[in-house]
């Protein structure tokens, strides 16, 4: 197929590369062209705008940074929906953004005769490279079935969870779980370090028991070796936590655990780690607990 891909950041570039490696032709746009260079070197076609992507591809995938970026990609003056003639029959937004925005995209797509899915992912940079992401999909069942062969190149666990916006709601549930997990993980490894225990040994030992988790196995070793490189950035996680709290408020819920996680991640960002990986939360905890 002719696939349009918008957003070639940490995860997007790897995901697009998997579609390309499977034999699909890519038409690519990214705000920073240099980040698309590896895909272009392997034969992808550069497009000057999201509108140009919509005119060149049969299906378009988007994975950008923030809700404002999603707005610009879909509704901007050079956005997907601004194209004079849209070739694409399906648009799939894989950015984590507000459920309300996903519903607006779906409505605008339907008005133009297109199908739209909101399909945010979890699994970080490793999952993007390995094609082992979990993908939560909102939208019509027929559109989901059309997209499924392509989604299977990107993820191992793929479920349609409801209509437009439901994928985004499911992703926010995921981020709430991760928020609590990361606080516990970083606090535990800080205690281990201060007690003089071998963090790497504990990660292997405890990972086989009730404390085992994806975060412990994948991010624990990065914490143990002081590696703060991003698989998923603190800035983006703070965005997601804000969205989760907005959705909770709309549902009449208070989430003190998420509030705590957001406070700690704001501390990490204030320390200059907004573009570090979420495991940099440990640095915020260290700052709150200086060595004696």
User: Angle of helix 256-268 relative to helix 281-288, nearest 10 degrees?
Assistant: 90
DSSP for 176-208, please give it.
HHHHHHHHHHHHHHHHHHHTT--HHHHHHHHTT
Catalytic residue among 171, 239, 254, 267: 171
Q: What is the DSSP letter of 136?
A: E
Count other C-beta atoms under 10 Å from residue 216's C-beta: 21
pTM higher than the cut 0.85: yes
Active site includes 35? Answer: no
**Inter-residue contact 278 to 219 (CB < 8 Å):** yes
pLDDT band at 292 (very low <50, low <70, confident <90, very high): confident
User: Could you give all domains of the chain from N- to C-terminal order, each with its CATH number?
Assistant: 2-162 (3.40.50.720), 169-288 (1.10.1040.10)
Count other C-beta atoms under 10 Å from residue 144's C-beta: 21
CA 93 – CA 81 distance, rounded (Å) = 13
Q: Position of tokens 């408020």? A: 249
- In this prediction, residues 211-226 reach a mean pLDDT of 95
Cα-based distances in Å from 15 to 6, 197, 199, 220: 11, 38, 32, 24
The rounded mean pLDDT for the chain is: 96
Which tens digits make up the pLDDT trace of 39-94? 999 999 999 999 999 999 999 999 999 999 999 999 999 999 999 899 999 999 99
Which tens digits make up the pLDDT trace of 94-120? 999 999 999 999 999 999 999 999 999
């Amino acid at each position: 197929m002719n696939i349009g891909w918008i957003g070639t950041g940490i995860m997007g570039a790897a995901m697009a590369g998997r579609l390309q490696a499977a034999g699909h032709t890519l038409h690519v746009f990214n705000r920073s062209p240099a980040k698309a260079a590896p895909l272009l070197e392997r034969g992808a076609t550069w497009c000057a705008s999201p509108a140009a992507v919509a005119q060149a591809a049969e299906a378009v995938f988007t994975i950008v940074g923030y809700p404002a970026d999603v707005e610009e990609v879909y509704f901007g003056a050079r956005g997907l929906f601004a194209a004079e003639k849209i070739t694409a029959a399906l648009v799939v937004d894989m950015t984590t953004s507000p459920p309300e925005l996903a519903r607006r995209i779906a409505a605008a797509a339907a008005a133009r005769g297109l199908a739209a899915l909101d399909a945010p992912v979890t699994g970080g940079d490793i999952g993007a490279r390995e094609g082992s992401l979990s993908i939560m999909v909102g939208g019509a069942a027929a559109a989901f079935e059309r997209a499924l062969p392509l989604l299977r190149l990107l993820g191992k666990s793929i479920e349609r969870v409801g209509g437009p916006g439901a994928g985004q709601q499911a992703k926010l549930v995921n981020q709430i779980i991760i928020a609590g997990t990361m606080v516990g993980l970083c606090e535990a490894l800080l205690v281990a370090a201060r007690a003089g225990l071998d963090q790497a040994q504990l990660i292997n030992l405890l990972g086989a028991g009730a404390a085992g988790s994806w975060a412990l196995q994948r991010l624990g070793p990065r914490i143990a070796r002081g590696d703060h490189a991003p698989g998923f950035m603190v800035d983006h996680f703070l965005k997601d936590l804000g969205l989760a709290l907005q959705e909770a408020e709309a549902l009449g819920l208070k989430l003190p655990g998420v509030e705590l996680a957001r406070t700690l991640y704001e501390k990490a960002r204030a320390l200059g780690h907004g573009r570090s990986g979420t495991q940099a939360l440990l640095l915020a905890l260290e700052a709150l607990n200086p060595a004696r």
